[in-house]
């Protein structure tokens, strides 16, 4: 009998985090950096049903007696990090058959058990734009995912818009990325690259026009073209164009194309942003930048600078950061903000660039990116200042569920690496993480 009682108690203990979802949990006494609004020294964040119910301090947030409280004194809470360009999840895009493949969906190749997704959780990432391939003018459709736990299929990671569509963008690239010497259908020069992209967008305009003219008469509709459908979505601003671009002149080519076709663009990488920061700001083009330890590695990045963030901030552009994982490791993503501040970016804009700016670039600013009532309960618990090398991500929460806990030995292994850390596995089920002696 005692054993049964004990067993039930243990079971209840393990189920507690799940119950807490419905019950509401208040994280108290941490320093809260909400990103939108001023930091709160002794903050309270109240979570209910996977959403943020309130953020404030003891004077503004009332905690009723049924709320579970978690004391995080000495810790720092900020929004879950948003990565606007990554390659985690083993996804792939277009193949070598042609330079423009807008019909290809990254979502059809994602491995929801990939170790790289777990590493991203360990880095405090909660939402990620995973991008197809490289080496094409257009390598396919990108996917916005949340790093939820226990995913068995890619669907479990998706984010849906208000019309019920799963969200994602489309990836373009210019510069040397798609150029092949004698590459058949691939471009051989920059001007040819631009011509091929323009040609496709013009086709998409014509395709859209045919659909418009057909109206209700389905017999007049053009034959379905998966690539055209995706490009029409881009033309209509329903699918953001994530444009890989490095050199200053290539950046301006993107802005020229954007102006001609009116798609919504996010400039990706933008290694020479410091040379054309004013032009980027004037075009109101958001820029997602990457911090690389040294210049070069390829010809287009020989002039990249740590200063890109500061230059874009000064010019008034919207600046976000990305990992481009595996180029940089998601686990050290916060370092990008640190290095940007090292070279003159403000702390506020650097942290904004890790969160809210990226949320805006993914059309998710109403749901994630800051700690505000009504938003998804995506947040991280840090051991200290987010910009300090000595700070560790202690916990990562997605939709009010803890998906990473450095205190858990399995999660610690993923955070620091070691034998077994690279194994693909199901991200642990938050509610059934305990040792149930075979019942698991």
Closer residue to another protein (CB): 300 or 376:
300
Report the residue number, 328 or 395, with the smaller CB distance to another protein: 328
C-alpha to C-alpha distances, 63 to 23, 28, 53, 83, nearest whole angstrom: 12, 10, 11, 33
Taking the least distance from each CB to another protein, the nearer of 237 and 297 is: 297
Shortest separation between residue 40's beta carbon and another protein, angstroms: 22
Residue in 183, 315, 168, 193 with CA at minimum distance from that of residue 247: 193
Nearest to another protein of 9, 419 (CB atom): 419
CB 104 within 8 A of CB 140: yes
In the chain the first and final C-alpha atoms are separated, in Å, by 22
CB 121, CB 79: distance < 8 Å:
no
Q: Which H helix or E strand runs over 47? A: strand 40-48
Q: Which is nearer to another protein, 113 or 210 (CB)?
A: 113
| Alpha carbons within 13 A on the beta-carbon side of 433 | 22
Give me the residues that bind another protein (CB under 8 A), please. 292-299, 301-302, 326-327, 329, 332, 335, 338-339, 341-342, 387-392, 416-422
- Is the bond preceding residue 57 a cis peptide, omega within 30 degrees? no
For residues 77 and 371, the answer to whether their CB atoms sit within 8 Å is yes
Q: Could you tell me the smallest distance in angstroms from the CB atom of residue 173 to another protein?
A: 15
Beta-bridge partners for 382: 76, 393
* Whole-number Å distance between alpha carbons of 19 and 210: 53
Report in angstroms how near the CB of residue 412 gets to another protein at its nearest: 10
**What whole-number distance in Å separates Cα of residue 286 and Cα of residue 270?**
10
Token pair 């257009």: residue: 138
Would you say 295 or 374 has its CB closer to another protein? Answer: 295
Cβ of residue 80: shortest distance to another protein, in angstroms? 20
Select 390 or 438, whichever has its Cβ closest to another protein: 390
Task: Output the smallest distance, CB 388 to another protein, in A.
Answer: 6
Nearer to another protein, 101 or 330 (CB): 330
The nearest distance, CB 81 to another protein, in angstroms, is 15
Q: Quick one: DSSP state of residue 296?
A: -
- Nearest approach, Cβ of 87 to another protein (angstroms)? 12
Closer to another protein by Cβ: residue 184 or 296 = 296
Antiparallel, parallel or unpaired: β 287-289 and 265-269? parallel
In whole angstroms, how close is the CB of 306 to another protein at the nearest point? Answer: 8
d(Cα 334, Cα 330) in Å, to the nearest integer? 9
**Least Å from the CB of residue 125 to another protein:** 16
Strand partners, 48: 51
Shortest distance (Å) from residue 189 CB to another protein: 18
**Buried b / exposed e along 138-149 (16+ C-beta atoms within 10 A):** bbbbbbbbbbbb
DSSP codes of every residue in 118-137: HHHHHTTEEEEEE---SSSS
Angle between helices 115-122 and 409-416 (to 10 degrees): 90
């Amino acid at each position: 009998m005692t054993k049964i009682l004990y067993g039930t108690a243990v079971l209840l203990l393990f189920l507690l985090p799940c119950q807490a979802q419905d019950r509401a949990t208040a994280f108290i006494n941490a320093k809260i950096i909400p990103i939108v609004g001023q930091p709160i020294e002794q903050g309270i964040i109240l979570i209910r049903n996977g959403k943020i119910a309130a953020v404030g301090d003891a004077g503004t947030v009332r905690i009723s007696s049924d709320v579970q409280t978690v004391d995080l004194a000495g810790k720092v809470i900020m929004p879950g990090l948003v990565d606007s360009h990554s390659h985690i999840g083993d996804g792939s895009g277009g193949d070598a058959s042609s330079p423009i493949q807008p019909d290809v969906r990254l979502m059809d190749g994602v491995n929801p058990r990939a170790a790289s997704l777990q590493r991203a959780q360990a880095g405090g990432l909660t939402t990620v734009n995973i991008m197809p391939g490289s080496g094409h003018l257009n390598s396919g459709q990108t996917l916005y995912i949340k790093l939820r736990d226990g995913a068995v299929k890619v669907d479990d990671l998706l984010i849906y818009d208000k019309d019920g569509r799963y969200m994602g963008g489309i990836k373009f690239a210019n510069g040397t990325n798609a150029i092949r010497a004698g590459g058949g259908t691939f471009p051989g020069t920059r001007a040819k690259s631009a011509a091929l992209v323009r040609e496709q967008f013009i086709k998409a305009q014509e395709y859209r026009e045919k659909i418009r003219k057909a109206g209700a008469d389905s017999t007049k509709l053009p034959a379905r073209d998966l690539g055209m459908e995706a490009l029409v979505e881009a033309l209509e601003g329903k699918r953001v164009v994530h444009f890989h671009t490095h050199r200053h002149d290539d950046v301006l080519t993107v802005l020229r194309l954007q102006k001609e076709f009116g798609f919504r663009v996010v400039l990706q990488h933008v290694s020479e942003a410091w040379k054309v920061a004013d032009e980027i700001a004037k075009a109101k083009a958001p820029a997602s930048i990457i911090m690389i330890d040294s210049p070069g590695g390829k010809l287009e990045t020989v002039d990249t600078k740590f200063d890109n963030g500061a230059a874009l901030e000064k010019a008034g552009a919207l600046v976000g950061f990305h990992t481009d994982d595996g180029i940089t490791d998601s686990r050290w993503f916060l370092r990008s903000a640190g290095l940007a501040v090292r070279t003159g970016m403000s702390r506020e804009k650097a942290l904004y660039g890790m969160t809210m700016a990226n949320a805006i670039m993914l059309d998710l600013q109403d749901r994630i990116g800051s700690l505000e009532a009504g938003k998804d309960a995506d947040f991280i618990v840090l051991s200290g200042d987010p910009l300090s090398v000595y700070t560790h991500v202690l916990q990562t929460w997605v939709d009010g569920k803890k998906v990473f806990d450095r205190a858990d030995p399995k999660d610690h292994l993923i955070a620091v690496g070691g034998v077994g850390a690279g194994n693909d596995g199901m991200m642990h089920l938050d509610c059934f993480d305990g040792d149930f002696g075979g019942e698991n």
